[in-house]
Amino acid sequence: MEHVNNFSCHTYGEGRTGGDQLVEFTCRPEEVGQVKEFLKKIRTIDIPTTGRVAISHGGYGKYTRYDIKQHDYANGRRGYIEVLEINDPTEGRCGIVINEYNCGDSVFTEWETLENARDAFTKYWGSCDTAKEFPKLEGFKRRVICNALTPWFYAVGDEELIGDYAFPYGLQDDSVYRFGKKFVVFDRDGIPEIKTCMGARFLTEDGSDGYGRPKKYYNRFVYWDDGSFFDAHNDTGNLPRPLEENELWITEAVRQFKEILAGKKTEFSINFIDGNIFIGKIKLSNKSHCAEGRYELQVKIKGAKDLLKGYVDFKPQQFKNIVEAVVENYKKTGKEVEQVTVDSFRKINPKGKKWAGIYYSRQA
């Protein structure tokens, strides 16, 4: 292409990149086809002038239209973590966040003060347990899972904010998966959950016709409001379907049942509009389960002359009762327990766990 600076005669055109990003351009009339073919070799095109650079070092970089100062940053094989101060947050959004890609999850947490966030970073910047540890710390407000979606503070240009996210570029409504519509979405175990659609994206991918011959096919990705997505080509389980009005109880029932499985409660009920009540309940055996609390014990170790006496603060997690916990913990040190005697029991937490939950018990 000659005389690239001479555009006294030009025309407007549109083309798509190899990543299906729509791009507007101007060029000489006779070169429209060449430009379109060239765009197919590019995955995406980003224009730096649409926002400020929030991060320009390490293994991660982002543009944003907000005034952001990065106070702390670390990265490694598990991902990255950063403390951000957004000086001009909009619509009442929190301006102090810890943004991280941690062991497979892209999330951010909100904090009361910058000092709270930096203290949390200092304690857990290299940990995969931030989901469990951050909520225990002073100043923690809430945790938001992003995954396939972009957090609001990394919005650029004129992107619209939808809740905690920047509305993703290239998402479009189709005849089924429309923005804002609720769907019943199934996990890998077939358990339903209600999610809100953020839109769908169509991509052209290279594949095979089953005989080793190359073939292009269209794939549809549907994005949900919790940051997860549905891959229409590779997700072979139950397809998401639109939510019907008489199914709103599903989310509440599944949420409460998960609390039972985790050992947080032993029963729940769902009230239906017609007056019927669904009751789910676990009946525990006092002989096989122990409540959370402090146990005064006497332990006889095989080969030892004297009894070991003392107390153990027990919480049903991996083990469902105190005897099983004592036996297994000593086994890890190479010692065999012959007898465990419980002399007394005292509650430490009035709202303590009564059982380990089915997930923990299955591991024991």
Among 2, 58, 54, residue whose Cα is nearest residue 30: 2
CB-based burial, 187-204: b 16+ in 10 Å, e otherwise: eeeeebbbbbbbbbbeee
State the chain's mean pLDDT as an integer: 78
**pLDDT average, residue stretch 63-81:** 85
Q: What is the pLDDT of residues 186-241, one digit of tens each?
A: 887 777 788 888 888 777 767 666 666 666 767 788 888 887 888 887 777 778 88
Residue type, 338: E
- Going by pLDDT thresholds of 50, 70 and 90, the confidence category of residue 269 is confident
- Residue of 40 and 26 predicted with greater confidence: 40
Question: What type of residue sits at position 75?
Answer: N
Model pTM?
Answer: 0.47
- In angstroms, the Cα distances linking 282 to 54, 270, 276, 356 are 51, 15, 20, 12
Yes or no: say if 363 and 318 are a contact pair by the CB < 8 Å rule: yes
Whether 258 has a pLDDT exceeding 90, the answer reads: no
Q: Hey, what long-range contacts does 45-50 have (CB within 8 A, 24 or more apart)?
A: 45/17, 45/21, 50/156, 50/157
* Digit-coded pLDDT (tens) for 331-349: 888 889 888 888 888 887 7
| pLDDT at residue 85 in the model | 94
Rg (CA), the chain: 28
119/150: higher pLDDT: 119
Least confident of 28-37, 43-52, 58-67, 163-172: 43-52
- Residue ranges per structural domain of the chain: 11-45, 49-154, 170-247, 249-281, 293-363
C-beta of residue 342 within 8 angstroms of C-beta of residue 326: no
